[in-house]
Structure 1
Amino acid sequence: MISKSINPVLVFLLSVSYSLLFLAPFCHAANNTLTRGQSLKDGESLISVDENFELGFFSPGNSSLRYFGIRYYKIRDQAAIWVANREKPISGSDGVLRIGEDGNLLVADGNGSPVWSSNASVVSNNTAAMLDPTGNLILSSNDSIGETDKAYWQSFSNPTDTYLPNMKVLISSAEIHAFTSWKSANDPSPGNFTMGVDPRGAPQIVVWERSRRRWRSGHWNGLIFSGVPYMTALTTYRYGFKVTRESDGKFYFTYNPSDNSELMRFQITWNGFEEQKRWNESAKTWQVMQSQPSEECENYNYCGNFGVCTSSGSHKCRCMEGFEPRQPDQWRRGNWSGGCGRRSPLQCQRNTSSGGEDGFKTLRGLKLPDFADVESISLDACREMCLNNCSCKAYAHVSQIQCMIWNGDLIDVQRFVEGGNTLYVRLADSELGRSRMPTYVIILIVLAGLAFLAISIWLLWMLKKSLKVLPAATSACTSSKCELPVYDLSKSKEYSTDASGSADLVIEGSQVNGSDLPMFNFNCLAAATNNFSEENKLGQGGFGLVYKGKLPGGKEIAVKRLSKISGQGLQEFKNEIILIAKLQHRNLVRLLGCSIQGDEKMLIYEYMPNKSLDYFLFDPDKQALLDWSKRFAIIEGIARGLLYLHRDSRLRIIHRDLKASNILLDEEMNPKISDFGMARIFGGNQSEINTNRVVGTYGYMAPEYAMEGLFSVKSDVYSFGVLLLEIVSGRRNTSFRQTERMILIAYAWDLWNEGKAMDIVDLSIRDSCDENEVLRCIQIGMLCVQDSALHRPTMASVVLMLESSTTSIPLPRQPTFTSVRASIDPEISLEVQEVASSSDLTVKVVAGR
């Protein structure tokens, strides 16, 4: 026997060689890119770099057929999100993916027969495919791998049944059935249900069963889908839906989650439900967050035309007022599909001219009907348009959508327990309960009413003459008599008589005692302002005029003279007196006193010679006077003033109307916060309050306040963030309405996110400012305007970040506040000085002083 020793080096090299041969296919599988000349066989896969998604062959459920598609990778439930050969499955395990001779992706079976191709218009056959971290399979040239804007083809533009974050759904002029369900839970072939966007009226998500509608989301108003009950403003910002205009000029629905680490998907299921699912890592399962239709009333047109479905009532379906069931017997049996018909014909439908004019019945809290036409006109013009068109059945006026008109039957209407919109349904005069009186009776009633009114006015005038005015009202205007003795407003007869109420202020359940404040002689104030002359006028606010005055001793003052027809009522007047009288801070305007005489109510402030911030900030000729050092000092001053209101004052106060016109500037350009008519006091343990009356200025209100009436100190933080960005940019938040972007916030975010934040800065200071300080301010501003109040910093944190260059600043989340109307139709805009109001909403826009 011949004995041979084995070389250990040779053994090691052979072992390594075998290992490499064995691991070769797995190394290939770990790649996320496929290039020309490579192939992907059954058993191999491409995996995204974050290992969330896998591209390869699979068999769904208990099926033995093989499909090529994209699935989740690192979680237990590898749900499929996209399937290529859903109509031509492969029976064996010899399928392969490769890039064909024409540069397209090609899936072939074991015989080499193609079962699917991307069929894109490829200008170069030197192509490559990449599975990116969003789950999108992108085919592009080898020189631009993964660039969606240069893609020849991508799976996000050719979806199957699943909508993922960052995917775009086109909004065009016609219905788009973008997603098609599977045939069954284990069969990916096209099923009976589709989901997509119907752009008519305002865009809405629709689920179809073949060509018949099964469910719709209601119209998109720029913030929410109005027909989805759970979708409040806060959840909308969390979910992150918005409409964007891309570089191709088209509009798309997009979805950006608040937490990109979560696995989230929307799906049209094989049995016809639109579901939103989130992966629950602790339970190792997909959690269904919402599913539509979730109950009977959400099934499309469940109660038929002109019917209203209510989930909470004992009877789900009722006819609208003025209508009755078309098939009463079927209606009583619970078959409401026949709907309702009009009881009395409209005026234009009658053969005779008898009867009065048509009118409208107001229905509140509804999911508005389907198939609306939209016009960009006011509420009154909308009503007139409907009245002048015999085909018009109803109208509505919705914020961000404007006038909606229905010329056909009112279809798929649902009544909500909370939320919803108001619909005005056109009815014949006889259905509105109007009494029919002879003409002479109406004339007599009108004349009697006029006579009664005249007598009442005469009596009031005589009574007023007999009333005593304040003791010093007619005294000479001397320095000693201009200011009357200090009055306790809660005991002032003049105040309680003429203002119709006590000066004690009850806010959020707790009483604040009346404040001792100097009362000024009306005649003296008239003399001080040259009888309120035009040349002494400093500005005009929403509640009256502001005049410059000079007291006999030479002291300059500002007199806010409330209009007799002012929107500022007794409550706001009390607020401003009591709040400012108790506040003392160098960055808050100082109240010197008030004057109350008859119908005249006035507030006297310290005079601010440099007017308000907007007087300089938004005037191209005066912007340069505010260099960066002055602007930064103004930002710091406003922040310190707000911090005092929120934390350091005796009362915890929310201003609720912070904006450039309410920041006054003294002779040294120091900022002082003014106009506390809308402010609210918080109790010691309160952190958030809900109000039924939303007040403030468009563009400065926090989302949760504007939509739900929820306000807190974080509402002021949002307004401060908007104001900070305005100070840096020199542009109003609402100055972008004529462009494709809605507001300054969106403009600033785009530039900040692209690393071009300095482009935001006002040109008049861009070359002379401290770049690091400016960028720090922009980042703080973006933190303050985040959609969720929880994510915004407190004013204490803001002051710290402003004053300390070493304090680290977190990265902001992308704001989603947008408007579909501004995006879809850039020609439509609201006037900046418009004042909109309803029973639930008051938005005031006040011009600068």
Structure 2
Amino acid sequence: METSNGTVLWQSFEHPSDTFLPGMRLTLDKKTGKNQLFTSWKSPSDPSEGNYSLGMDPSGSGQIFIWEGGLLKWRSGQWDGKTFIGTVMRSLNLYGFSLTDDVNIGMMYFTFTPANSSLLRFNLQYDGVENTSMLVPETKAWKSVWVQPVNECEIYGHCGINGICSMVGDSPTCSCLQGFEPKSGEEWSNGNWSSGCKRTTPFSCEMMNRTSSSNSSSGSQGKKDGFVRMGGLKLPDFSEWASVVRDPSGCESYCMSNCSCKAYVYNANLGCLVWSRELIDIYQFPSTGNGNDLFIKLADLDLGGSSNTWITIVIVSVIGLASLILVIYLWWKFNAKIKECWKKEVKQWDLFSSLQFSPEGRSEISGVVEQEGEEGKGVQLPLYTVEFIANVTDNFDESNKLGEGGFGIVYKGVLPGDELVAIKRLSRSSGQGLEQFKNEVLLIAKLQHRNLVRLLGCCIEGEEKMLIYEYMPNKSLDAFLFDPSKQAVLDWSKRFEIIKGIARGLLYLHRDSRLRIVHRDLKASNILLDQEMNPKISDFGMAKIFGGDQNEANTNRLVGTYGYMSPEYAMEGLFSVKSDVYSFGVLILEIVTGRRNNSFYHLENSPNIIGYVWPLWNEGRVMELIDQNIQSTCSAHQVLRCIHIGLLCVQDRVSERPDMSAVVLMLESGSAILQTPKQPTFVTERGPTETGAFSVNDLTVSIMSAR
């Protein structure tokens, strides 16, 4: 398009879509950084703008990049004046490209002129593949002659930093460069190479800089560090041109004298290239004759050489080991009492192979093993004696009493090494006996999650049964939530994090743990708080294991705390993971309001917290629900969302309650759309003989109820 006087206003070659033709320019304005990009189609039949683009490296290195969205997917490697050294180019297009760097106008651009009369086109496909095709005169059809990237190893940074990719058959394989090791051995062994590799031994110059304020001479560095050559490579990204160097030996000396230099290569057309950043996007070409030699700088130890440093390390290690053995011997000798105590009191215990119960107790455990199958095997815990537990609790002194629950009394203890623990002692009059004790040991010993309390050991001796847990300095959630003098400590941000932490713990129990577990007694007193007020779910005495494909179970023995029980469990004895969801919903409402579920007896038509919350939420009077201690600091949007989620969790129908994965998503994402809850059915408070279970002062009680 041009004006009447011949001035060109627009031409298609300067505004490309997905195709590059001979005669076109691929340009980069080095002054403004504006890059002329070729953009893929959205799909083979949709020419709208896709997710891939092709253009020159904005830094001016002369490389061609393909981006996926804003992420670099592929690069051509450096341009050496004849070819792109990071890819294998066919002879058909080897001599057609030309790079012009016009310093006067600040423009850099590639052009392509075919070597013969063949008609070529370069097309960026919808899937991010650059496809070069040639028109076949006989058939008048386009034939693909060159594509990039060819395989997964050519995907940018496939093996992370300091990793190298090679193709074995049709599969990419990553390995660390010599002198490097995986940053994460576990991820690496699982085929996740994105974290890359780290250097095993620092350069000698780095070691000297750490121990001396003066710089070491290059000569001393040269004796200790060296280079290893790797051939046939696609050179890593982020090279720097050492313009003062004129030959290969000068390039090596330049890199050796520079402590920040990690690798170098001398190319006849490019000159000396060095790398001061981590090495990334290295590909081992499968065929010989392709690629370049890369010289990687390593410490002497990683080159396989021997040095005084290695001898020094060995000597220091031997002296250190001898000193450690001496210290251990002296400690063992002069602390005979502690030594004998631990030797006698603590041993590894297999729950189902060496448990010393009475004959009656042993038969109960054996029955459980047969019922649970493989789930009960391999549970290993430290086993303590009653005498030892008595010593660490000052003979169960009243001053060490932390609290009391349905299981019995909980004491604080101090193990050798000043480790604080909480010791739960089964009361002989407790309604929770051997089965509940076994249940806690079986479940918690196998569970590992930051929002579940850790079981550290147990004690079984005669009629004494005790569990040793990690110590929670802030005790339980109800100690803060329902105490007017402590409620202000839990501001809204802490309460919201507690809600999310409990949700993540339940999700682990229901879906992500080795065992699929229903807690059945989730309530504020069973949520413990650590030093940073992080929540940890505790008390698994009532929990049940579900099989892999089991969704629901039935019981004629109701356990738990009334008010937290779901309707189907309280009335029919049916329980599932959705029973815990119901309890979690009640717990959310308690955390927001700062009031116990059973504190609404005096309110007309409000037998429980659900009956109190629903009408106010339904009438848009949410702020009246919020604990006064957090009203001025809370996020109204978050509070409203939490109440909304809580009401969804306490729906009467099991199918209308979300599972915990959906709950976590709703809590983590402030934009997820929530369904509208239906009005729950509020049942007037009934006595224990009607419900089959009740709780007095938060002590869980279970009784049999015929149905």
Structure-1-length-normalised TM-score: 0.41
Greater helix fraction, Structure 1 or Structure 2: 2
Structure-2-length-normalised TM-score: 0.49
